[in-house]
A and B are shown apart, each in its own frame.
Chain A
Amino acid sequence: MSASPRETLDSPQKLQDACISTEGLSVSYAKSYALRDLHLEIPRGSITALVGPSGCGKSSFLKTLNRLTDLITGCRVTGSVRLDGEDIYQSGFDVLSLRRRVGMIFQKPNPFPLSIRRNLTLPLEEHGTQDSAALAAKTEAALRDVGLWDEVKDRLDSSAMILSGGQQQRLCIARALALGPEVVLLDEPCSALDPLSSAVVEDLIASLRESYTVIIVTHNLSQARRIADQTALFWLENGAGTLIETAPTEQFFSQPQHRLTKEYVSGARG
């Protein structure tokens, strides 16, 4: 993190290496649109923050990227989402392995009501790690990555539900990282946590840069400013969420181009 990531982002050949790109992406529930005609490129190995008022389709957008929208009855996705150049909505696309490659962390920490260890081994086994030594090694590595190992190594078989909120959220991140994803989606991961845990989780997210492509929805503008390489503003227009402006984070906050961005950044709206 010491080398400024913003420089790498600004260099043109990096920008061309989009990990995820969407074209004309729309999401509707029953009759109404939650998101309309979204064109967005997410550069590889960077952190992208999505900001904007509630209800403008940020969570819906994240759910299109791992096709969690498939599970919602009445939800329809049109347009295209490409991951490493491949359309994830093409027929026959392997959704289970997509979800391994694109991990997701929710606002409310959602560890399974199982032991700490089982929270990690259940998904690992599902994705083909059967050998118990390998399982143990991956479990330890993932818990170390999120700085949880020393806190839980003596009680791996106790229930994950007895951990604090911040620890639970880090366990959920570890669970996703253990599967070796390319992309990590985080939907307001700190907003259910106390300030101290929130700071720990924020540092953890910042440390994911370069190893992963990270997309984080946040209502905390200073958090976006601290950790994100680029920031995108979503807004509700004509009853549907749209993308207003995307820019490198520094530019987004210091020289916003769009009127709404100016007002949102200055706190006048949103």
Chain B
Amino acid sequence: MNRSSVKADRTATFLCWIVAFAVTGTFFWILWDLLGHGFKGISWSFLTTQPRDAGRSGGISSVLVSTSLILGVCLGVAIPTGVGTAAFLSEWIPRKSRVGRWIRRSLDLLAAVPSIVFGLFGAVFFGEVLGFGFSILSGGLTLALMVLPILIRATEAGFRSASEELRLGGAALGLRRATILRHLLLPAASHGIVVGLVLGVGRALAETAALIFTSGYVTRMPSSLLDSGRSISVHIYDLAMNVPGGEANAYATAVVLILLLILINSLASWATQTWLGGRSLP
């Protein structure tokens, strides 16, 4: 290597470090700010009592319950549909078939649609046409639609990265396609599924616009999936924007949201290691 290319190399390395520092630095700054303002507000009773006085006082128990229910509906619908569609795209139809291209293109389009559009669609379709009204069910289904494109694309990439060797080896033993898919390809695709899930859940938990129109912002404890319920990001948004004196609880709730995201992230990788990949990893 000559001297000028060594110099260029050093400069590039230096720039990469700067960018990396800026990105992680910003993240830690936000975290620091959140923790500084919000951590003292978190207590057991904050998590287990219902909001009072529009959320200024009291806790967030009903918000946590609504959030989990919305997330449950979302994942309960999105995971089977997503994995099924990904398997169809990668294993059942030829890679370059017209159907496949058409589905992939619509998924990419869907992934780029702003969440408020999903919210309006969900409010009309789930809320009015199907008659679910402002409810956790409407919200969860709307979120499922939002999460599906990411989940399908990541899972499909996971299936495709599974080697041809597994397919041929399985077929040579007379295994049915469904068996090869379930026992050989699914574990191999589990990494893609986790990536898709983590991205999807992140998007779902952070969502406000789509949920205000569908699951609503009632802070009552929901008693069924057809009740309206306020999700955690909607709660933060409402406290910060519409409730004077709600900042302290907004901060505390934001800390809970961050902790939740970290928890889900670790849970997801632990779960795939144990259930899907565990037997398959050396």
CB–CB A112/B184 < 8 A: yes
Contact check: which of A66, A115, A118, A159 meets B172 at CB < 8 Å?
A: A66
The reply on B166 being an interface residue by CB < 8 A is: yes
Complex Cα spacing A108 to B126, Å = 53
| CB-defined contacts of A1 to chain B, threshold 8 Å | none
Interface string of A150-188 (1 = CB under 8 A from B): 000000000101100000000010011001000000000
- Segment among A12-20, A98-106, A207-215, A249-257 that sits at the interface with chain B: A98-106
Total interface residues on B, using CB and 8 Å? 22
CB–CB A162/B282 < 8 A: yes
Residue of A nearest to B170 (CB): A112
Complex Cα spacing A95 to B187, Å = 26
Residue of A nearest to B277 (CB): A113
Interface string of A113-140 (1 = CB under 8 A from B): 1110010001100110000000000000
The reply on B167 being an interface residue by CB < 8 A is: yes
The reply on A191 being an interface residue by CB < 8 A is: no
Complex Cα spacing A96 to B280, Å = 24
| CB-defined contacts of A126 to chain B, threshold 8 Å | 173-176, 179
| CB-defined contacts of A115 to chain B, threshold 8 Å | 279
Complex Cα spacing A27 to B124, Å = 56
Complex Cα spacing A104 to B280, Å = 22
| A175 and B173 contact, Cβ closer than 8 Å, known pairs A110-B165, A113-B188, A122-B183 | yes
The reply on A73 being an interface residue by CB < 8 A is: yes
CB–CB A68/B171 < 8 A: yes
| A68 and B172 contact, Cβ closer than 8 Å, known pairs A115-B279, A118-B279, A159-B282 | yes
Residue of B nearest to A158 (CB): B282
CB–CB B281/A108 < 8 A: no
**Could you list which residues of chain A lie within 8 angstroms of chain B, going by C-beta atoms?**
66, 68, 71, 73, 95-100, 103-104, 106, 108, 110, 112-115, 118, 122-123, 126-127, 159, 161-162, 172, 175-176, 179
Given contacts A103-B172, A110-B165, A113-B188, 19 further A-B contacts (CB under 8 A): A68-B172, A71-B167, A71-B168, A73-B94, A96-B175, A98-B174, A99-B173, A103-B173, A106-B165, A106-B168, A110-B169, A114-B183, A123-B175, A126-B174, A126-B179, A161-B282, A175-B173, A176-B173, A179-B174
